[in-house]
């Protein structure tokens, strides 16, 4: 590793990330857990919810290289691998476009640990096709002495969505909410949701390996699915067309659509706010 290496900092609805350009994998090797933690440290590092390494797919996952030139190598703030990140992939695509690494006028395929995702850039509205959701039934989550029924939704990564009377019911979310380890052996992202009106909800989230974050893109997708099902909607089977919802997060607002062909589309902004070099 050189004494200093390049980084960028950005966010999607205040879910923030450090981006590491490492196109041929020569700078960061296997990207050690300790480095990810140091970069994400909000007092001694750059501060972030996770790290996005920008690397060519043929370096890290050759079988996916035919579908996408670029791979989003995503790690949570604790250094753990994560399959997907809905806010992060919008920032990732924006960076590729700004650096002239992709054609922003065409859909951008990006490989992830949950397969290849397609991102469309239209000014501040950046849309990612999160793919097919999986509704895996009911489970339970808890905070302190309280517990709630939750819907288990897989968006390529695991989520438990609980409807509460007030978002304050989730407490400070400094600690991991209680969950069934037999259902989620590798941990889970837990979303707490309240209704704001027809087709409109608000959420808070505890992300595994991070804590409470200002936004979670795949979590918003899981909330969309859980809310639509609670409203008696299942676009892939009910013949009523797409189900569209607005999801407010502490860091802003996201638009979600569950399409009649059973795909979840997430639309929201992303912005790069800084760049430089670091030796962390």
**Active-site annotation holds for 85:** yes
Two tokens, residue 47: 């501060």
Which residue in 85, 188, 222, 270 is the catalytic one?
Answer: 85
CA separation for the pair 76, 204 (Å, rounded): 18
Which residue in 130, 216, 254, 264 is the catalytic one?
Answer: 216
**Active-site annotation holds for 216:** yes
**Residues with catalytic roles:** 85, 216
């Amino acid at each position: 590793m050189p004494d200093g290496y390049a980084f960028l900092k950005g966010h999607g609805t205040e879910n923030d990330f450090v981006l590491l350009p490492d196109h041929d994998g020569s700078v960061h090797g296997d990207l050690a857990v300790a480095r990810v933690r140091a970069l994400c440290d909000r007092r001694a590092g750059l501060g972030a919810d996770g790290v996005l390494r920008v690397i060519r797919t043929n370096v890290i996952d050759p079988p996916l290289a035919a579908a996408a030139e670029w791979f989003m190598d995503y790690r949570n703030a604790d250094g753990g691998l994560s399959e997907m990140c809905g806010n992060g992939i919008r920032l990732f695509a924006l960076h590729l476009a700004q650096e002239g690494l992709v054609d922003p006028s065409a859909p951008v395929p990006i490989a992830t640990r949950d397969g290849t995702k397609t991102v469309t850039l239209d000014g501040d509205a950046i849309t990612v096709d999160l793919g097919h959701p999986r509704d895996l039934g009911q489970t339970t989550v808890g905070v302190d002495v309280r517990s709630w029924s939750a819907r288990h939704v897989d968006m390529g990564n695991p989520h438990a969505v609980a409807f509460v009377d007030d978002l304050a019911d989730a407490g400070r979310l400094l600690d991991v909410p209680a969950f069934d380890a037999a259902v989620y052996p590798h941990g889970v992202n837990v979303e707490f949701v309240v209704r704001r009106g027809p087709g409109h909800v608000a959420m808070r989230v505890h992300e595994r390996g991070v804590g409470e974050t200002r936004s979670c893109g795949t979590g918003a997708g899981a909330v969309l699915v859980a809310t639509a099902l609670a409203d008696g909607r299942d676009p892939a089977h009910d013949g009523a067309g797409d189900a569209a919802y607005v999801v407010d997060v502490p860091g802003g607002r996201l638009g979600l659509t569950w399409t009649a062909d059973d795909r979840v589309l997430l639309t929201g902004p992303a912005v790069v706010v800084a760049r430089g070099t670091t030796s962390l």
